[in-house]
């Protein structure tokens, strides 16, 4: 098994990537998503996503509900990131959504879980920082022969190039994810999104 990971500035793009991975036949159990929830973006009651999760609906159906919703799938705060909504194997391992791990270890757990699954550490730091700044992380475990195709699906869905984003963050004085940093609020996230305009597909 290989791990493919994509950071998305726009939640809609992340949701589309999850749906495309599922359409390709990658099981929901092998897909994970972690999305910034500053300003309570993913509000409960906006769709039937939580209900769908309980009835065996794919993660694509759950995350693609009305308003782009991830309800009932692990709402927690990560030091340095702030509130997130998370679902899937990476969320369960790294964020303690299932095991009840203390939130203090969640940030290191996210980077550790990514690196343990084969993501280079420098990319893992960019991904954690990207979620801190309002992004959404999609990670999937795929058979070796599907790695290239799964990566192409993520790229086609408007993913963030981690090398380019590291360069942009570094120009602002950033070196690596810092769990002691102040989380971004809704206004800062909006400013960050304006810095990286969404590409039209």
96 close to 109: Cβ distance less than 8 angstroms? yes
**Which of 103, 48, 114 shows the shortest CA–CA distance to 81?**
103
Distances (CA, A) of 70 to 49, 92, 132, 151, 162: 7, 14, 17, 23, 24
110 close to 103: Cβ distance less than 8 angstroms? no
Q: What is the pTM of this model?
A: 0.79
What span, in angstroms and rounded, lies between the C-alpha atoms of 77 and 161? 26
Pairing of strands 82-87, 2-8: unpaired
Domain assignments of the chain as residue spans, ordered by start: 2-195
Which pLDDT score, from 0 to 100, does residue 85 have? 80
pLDDT tens, N- to C-terminus, the chain (201 residues): 899 999 999 988 999 999 999 999 999 889 988 888 886 655 543 433 333 333 344 555 555 443 333 434 556 666 677 778 878 877 666 654 334 444 444 445 678 778 888 889 999 999 999 999 999 999 999 999 999 999 999 999 889 999 999 999 999 999 999 888 888 888 999 999 888 877 765
């Amino acid at each position: 098994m290989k791990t493919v990971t994509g950071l998305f500035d726009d939640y809609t793009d992340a949701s589309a990537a999850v749906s495309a991975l599922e359409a390709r036949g990658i099981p929901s159990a092998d897909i994970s998503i972690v999305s910034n929830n500053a300003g309570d973006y993913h509000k409960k009651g906006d769709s039937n996503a939580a209900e769908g999760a309980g009835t065996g609906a794919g993660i694509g159906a759950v995350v693609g509900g009305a308003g782009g919703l991830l309800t009932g799938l692990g709402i927690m705060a990560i030091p340095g990131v702030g509130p997130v909504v998370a679902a899937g194997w990476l969320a369960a391992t790294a964020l303690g959504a299932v095991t009840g791990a203390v939130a203090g270890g969640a940030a290191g757990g996210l980077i550790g879980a990514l690196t343990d699954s084969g993501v280079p550490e420098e990319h893992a730091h960019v991904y954690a920082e990207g979620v801190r700044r309002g992004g959404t992380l999609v990670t999937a475990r795929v058979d070796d022969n599907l790695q290239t195709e799964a990566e192409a699906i993520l790229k086609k869905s408007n993913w963030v190039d981690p090398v380019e984003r590291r360069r942009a963050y570094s120009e602002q004085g950033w070196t690596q994810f810092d769990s002691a940093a102040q989380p971004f609020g809704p206004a800062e996230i909006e400013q960050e999104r304006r810095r990286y305009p969404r590409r039209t597909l």
